Amino acid sequence: MTRDPVRVGCLGMGWWSDVLADAVTRSGRLQIVSCFTRSEEKRRAFAAKYGCEAASCYDAMLADRRVEAIINTTPNNAHLETTRAAAAAGKHVFLDKPIANTIADARALTSACRAAGTVLALGYQRRRETHFRWVRERIDAGAFGRLVNAEANISRDRLGTVDLTSWRYSAEGMPGGVMLQIGIHYTDVLEYLMGPVAAVTGRLAQLVLPGDNPDVASLVLEHENGALATLNASYASASEHYVMNIYGKEASAFYDLQQGLRFVRRGTPGVQPVACQPIDTIAGELEEFASAVRGAGEPEMDGERSTRSLAVVLAGIRSAREGRTVRVDDVLEERC
């Protein structure tokens, strides 16, 4: 198997495009050869920063034989059109989460990549963090016994930094607001650790930020194994904070941003700190994508898994709007 870097074109020049491009540079397993966004100023600046060519249009990038894959950070509602075009041109796609704003779009772009035989990978780097990998290994080994409950929080301070001209902060571009934009990371981690979610009860609020989108959200997740989990997401808090506590019949694990990971077993006094060395999760998911492009393995988060991840959040959004618990399968069965 060749180890030549996978040559990529970067589509979309927002702040996250630079985060991914920096990870490409750190990795060495991929090489940026082209970039495009509608703003000529932005694409020229990106090309100068990363030493690549600024394509004149997306079609030109897709026609470039050097480009093997697209790193796509376009707005959610452009994912279908841009990914389907890439697949038709035989280009593999690394797509930032969420996969789309609707299940119909998610399914359509997944089908397009499958039909073309191209790799589709989604960026869900949080599940790759070493503390969550450590917990998952212990769960798989039976150390937790039956999983019964979890509680999570993902909060950031966006007061004074929100850009109301950005699609990321509009109800049209990011329906569900904070829950779809960052809460989806922790609904994913909860499914990764606790198992698939069967139903969701949600509440949304707009308390601090201007605009038309929720900046606070809470979900109760009913997992298929019977366990219950709660998730709070906020853009209205005074600081950045992350919590993920997993409770099992025989053991529990507690993680937060400030104190790291701790572990406790039934009948054992005290809590054991667990040292987890951080890893480059974003470079790691890109390297996994590069391996899949080269025919070695497949992405951990592909189109099907990411569609289900989207459905969990959409179930919570609908629950908040309709005042009832919503089953994830009902969302997945929709045609629009």
Residue 80 lies in a domain: yes
Whether residues 80 and 16 fall in one domain: yes
pLDDT at 267: 93
Cα angle for residues 306, 308, 312 (degrees, 5° grid): 115
Contacts of 227 (CB under 8 A, 6+ apart): 147, 148, 149, 150, 194, 195
Number of domains in the chain: 2
Whether residues 204 and 64 fall in one domain: no
On the question of a cis peptide bond just before residue 299, with omega within 30 degrees of 0, the verdict is: no
Residue 166 lies in a domain: yes
Q: What single-letter amino acid sits at 268?
A: T
Residue 161 lies in a domain: yes
Closest CA to 213 of 150, 248, 181, 169: 169
Q: How far apart are CA 100 and CA 72, in angstroms?
A: 12
pLDDT at 163: 87
What is the arithmetic mean of pLDDT over 169-198?
Answer: 96
Whether residues 218 and 106 fall in one domain: no
Percent of the chain with pLDDT over 90: 92
The yes-or-no verdict on residue 220 having pLDDT over 60 is: yes
pLDDT at 336: 54
pLDDT digits (tens, 9 = 90+) for 76-111: 999 999 999 999 999 999 999 999 999 999 999 999
The yes-or-no verdict on residue 234 having pLDDT over 90 is: yes
pLDDT digits (tens, 9 = 90+) for 144-179: 999 999 999 999 998 888 888 888 889 899 999 999
Residue 306 lies in a domain: no
What is the arithmetic mean of pLDDT over 256-276?
Answer: 95
CB atoms within 10 A of CB 75: 18
Whether residues 190 and 327 fall in one domain: yes
The yes-or-no verdict on residue 44 having pLDDT over 50 is: yes
DSSP 110-178: HHHHHHHT--EEEE-GGGGSHHHHHHHHHHHTTTT-SEEEEEEEEEEE-TTT--TTSGGGSTTTSTTTH
Residue 134 lies in a domain: yes
Whether residues 72 and 29 fall in one domain: yes
Whether residues 150 and 265 fall in one domain: yes
Answer yes or no: are the C-beta atoms of 125 and 282 closer than 8 Å: yes
Whether residues 18 and 31 fall in one domain: yes
CATH number at residue 151: 3.30.360.10
pLDDT digits (tens, 9 = 90+) for 55-78: 999 999 999 999 999 999 999 999
Whether residues 287 and 162 fall in one domain: no
Residue 1 lies in a domain: no
**Which structure tokens are listed for 274?**
């667990």
Whether residues 130 and 263 fall in one domain: yes
Host H or E run for residue 242: strand 236-248
CATH number at residue 114: 3.40.50.720
Whether residues 195 and 322 fall in one domain: yes
* Exposure on the CB side of residue 25, measured as CA atoms within 13 A: 10
Residue 180 lies in a domain: yes
The yes-or-no verdict on residue 130 having pLDDT over 70 is: yes
Domain that holds residue 290: 6-125+282-301
Residue 179 lies in a domain: yes
Q: How far apart are CA 309 and CA 314, in angstroms?
A: 9
pLDDT at 160: 82
**Which structure tokens are listed for 322?**
């309709």
DSSP at 276: -
Whether residues 83 and 130 fall in one domain: no
Closest CA to 7 of 91, 84, 127: 91
Contacts of 66 (CB under 8 A, 6+ apart): 7, 33, 34
Whether residues 132 and 254 fall in one domain: yes
What is the arithmetic mean of pLDDT over 39-52?
Answer: 97
What is the arithmetic mean of pLDDT over 260-276?
Answer: 95
pLDDT at 159: 87
pLDDT at 162: 84
Q: What average pLDDT does the structure give for the chain?
A: 96
Q: How far apart are CA 262 and CA 229, in angstroms?
A: 19
pLDDT digits (tens, 9 = 90+) for 294-336: 999 999 999 999 999 999 999 999 999 999 999 999 999 976 5
pLDDT at 1: 44
